[in-house]
Structure 1
Amino acid sequence: MEETMNNVRSQKSEVRSQKNTSSVFCHLTSGFTLIELLIVISIIAILAATIIPNFIGFDTEARLTATKTNLDTLRTRVTLFRAKEGRYPASLQELLDTYYLDVGVKKPYLNKFPLEMISKKSGNNEFIDISSSEEPITREGGWAYYTDTADVHVNLDEPLGRIWGEYEGQKPIDW
């Protein structure tokens, strides 16, 4: 009987040691090692360092393109006003307030003022009406409308900085 008890005890201790060994083994094989984590982080950092600089210039390029397109829109609307009304608008406000007949439908020359996107990221649709002999620049952005020449410009005369890429050094008022 004692021998049977010893056999049972030894079997229990073997089972315990197997359980302990297997649980330790499981903990050692699950998860990632520090080296694996460092390698993955390094790869992600290298990818980020090569890809992110390619996207940085998109914001400024989009803002420049939008501003130039909006400037062309304003100039086109002033020309359309001249063609329909027989005179140039006395103010840019007339483009919002005056309606013309287009295939029997009354339409304003502009529904809203387009945004100048250089002075502010959110855009600036303010404008000033001036004569070409006056000092127009407020350096606050928006649009400048020369009433005597019927020309629209961006109301900024400071050269653009380095972030504007190929437009660096250009003055938006000269566009």
Structure 2
Amino acid sequence: MFRKIRQGGEKGFTLIELMVVVAIVGILVTLAEPSYRIATTKAKEAALKRDLYVLRDTIDQYHADQGRYPAALADLVDKGYLRAIPNDPFTNASNTWVEIYVSEGEESGIYDVHSGSDVIGTNGTTYNEW
């Protein structure tokens, strides 16, 4: 009248056991995903801060050495101040940096850069204001 579900030689998991494990894994992924997104965003923000610091410092070095600001970011590469213009972490391109020009008397050129992204950062300001 009663039968055993498993017989002595059979090994493996039942469908119910597999479904329970898949459900638990799905719940864990759902809980971990927001933390992953925040960590990824903060890593990109750290890279943006580093890239902005490097670009701004290099522009200042160029100005101190050459007596003028660079006409374009490519001048920093051409003169050997940078190996390459870094990619903006939020636009994934090196040609999206917003170049801020100075025009004081006869001097002109790039004296500051900002990100090309208008996404709001974790501090509440857009990245192109950093």
Q: TM-score, normalised by structure 2?
A: 0.72
Indicate the residue corresponding to 1:36 in structure 2.
17
CA drift of 1:53 comes to 2.5
How many positions carry a matched residue from both structures?
A: 119
Amino acid at match of 1:124: A
Does the CA-based 8 Å contact 1:125-1:143 persist in structure 2? no
Rg bigger for which structure? 1
Output the CA distance in 2 between the equivalents of 1:34 and 1:60. 39
Indicate the residue corresponding to 1:152 in structure 2.
113
Q: CA RMSD in A?
A: 2.5
Q: More relative contact order in 1 or in 2 (CA 8 Å, sep 6+)?
A: 2
- Between stretches 108-117 and 31-40, larger displacement belongs to 31-40
- Select 2:59's aligned residue among 51, 69, 78: 78
- Select 2:81's aligned residue among 101, 109, 116: 109
Does the CA-based 8 Å contact 1:155-1:173 persist in structure 2? yes
Instruction: Write out per-residue CA displacement over residues 114-155 of structure 1, whole angstroms, 9 at most, x where no aligned residue.
Output: 11122x3xx1111xxxxxxxxxxxxxx323141437222223
**Counterpart secondary structure, 1:113:** coil
Say if 1:94 and 1:66 are closer, same or farther in 2 by CA, change over 3 A.
same
Does the CA-based 8 Å contact 1:75-1:151 persist in structure 2? yes
Does the CA-based 8 Å contact 2:100-2:113 persist in structure 1? yes
- Select 1:97's aligned residue among 78, 93, 107: 78
Does the CA-based 8 Å contact 1:92-1:145 persist in structure 2? no
Say if 1:35 and 1:109 are closer, same or farther in 2 by CA, change over 3 A.
same
**Counterpart secondary structure, 1:25:** coil
Confirm or deny that 1:173 pairs with 2:120: no
Which structure features the higher share of helix residues? 1
Q: Note the residue ranges of structure 2 that are not aligned, 5 or more in a row.
A: 1-5, 105-110
Amino acid at match of 1:111: R
Indicate the residue corresponding to 2:38 in structure 1.
57
Amino acid at match of 1:125: S
Amino acid at match of 2:7: F
- Select 1:47's aligned residue among 28, 52, 68: 28
- Select 1:66's aligned residue among 40, 44, 47: 47
CA drift of 1:76 comes to 0.2
